[in-house]
Amino acid sequence: MEAGTLSGEKAQRIVDAMRASVAARGAAGSTFDQVAREAGVSRGLLHYYFGTKERLLVEVVRRECELRLAGLDRALAGAHTADDLLDVLVRSLEELVDRDPGSASARGLVTADARALLFEVFTSARRIPEIAVELADLHRRMRRHLASSLEAKQEEGVVALGADAESVATVLFSLADGLALRMLADPEHDWRPTLAAGIASVRPLLGAR
């Protein structure tokens, strides 16, 4: 199936099954047989829609981007002050490193293990050019999407950006990604002072007092 032509309930079910499988077993451990069984379709249908596991992984990256952008939009809609916006960003980071997938599901978050999926995609991108291209596009889309949201919030008087919106968005994502890696690597550490320092460092970029 060519890029951008994914449609149909069964195809989407396959993508979601692959998302869950990659999060649980890793990309290498996710086979067409397993994914077909969990999606409730034939193995032949996976080949018909996607051809290769790499092509299916590309669609997983696209799906992850869609879900993360939708979640970001929902969260930012209720941000009426710079502090509200900071709270949204901190919650997003905490949800990414949440060690209890059940609690995430209870809060209405993405049901697949987002942190495992994220790192599997990063690893796959180092080996598979198609994934690398799609991951770079995901980062661009998320950066521009957040930048657009920040510009809208600036027009509403919610924030007063200390730099151009894309640069601010890049700093926010970079800080979140770096903190997530460290928090996952050392879950027993008390990260609250570090989070407080991170918030203090970005407050001027959002015009928060």
In this structure, is residue 177 part of a structural domain? yes
In this structure, is residue 39 part of a structural domain? no
H/E segment holding residue 142: helix 129-155
Percentage with pLDDT > 90 across the chain: 27
pTM score, two decimals? 0.74
Return d(Cα 18, Cα 67) in angstroms, integer: 15
CA-to-CA separations, 99 to 13, 83, 155, 190, in angstroms, rounded: 25, 26, 37, 15
In this structure, is residue 150 part of a structural domain? yes
**The domain spanning residue 82 has which CATH number?**
1.10.357
Return d(Cα 63, Cα 207) in angstroms, integer: 33
In this structure, is residue 10 part of a structural domain? no
In this structure, is residue 88 part of a structural domain? yes
Q: What is the pLDDT of residues 132-174, one digit of tens each?
A: 888 888 889 889 999 999 999 999 999 999 999 999 999 998 9
In this structure, is residue 64 part of a structural domain? yes
Q: What's the structural domain count of the chain?
A: 1
CA-to-CA separations, 93 to 21, 44, 60, 104, 177, in angstroms, rounded: 22, 38, 21, 12, 8
- Structural domain containing residue 95: 60-206
In this structure, is residue 51 part of a structural domain? no
In this structure, is residue 1 part of a structural domain? no
Burial degree of 193 (CB within 10 A; 0-12, 13-18, 19+): exposed
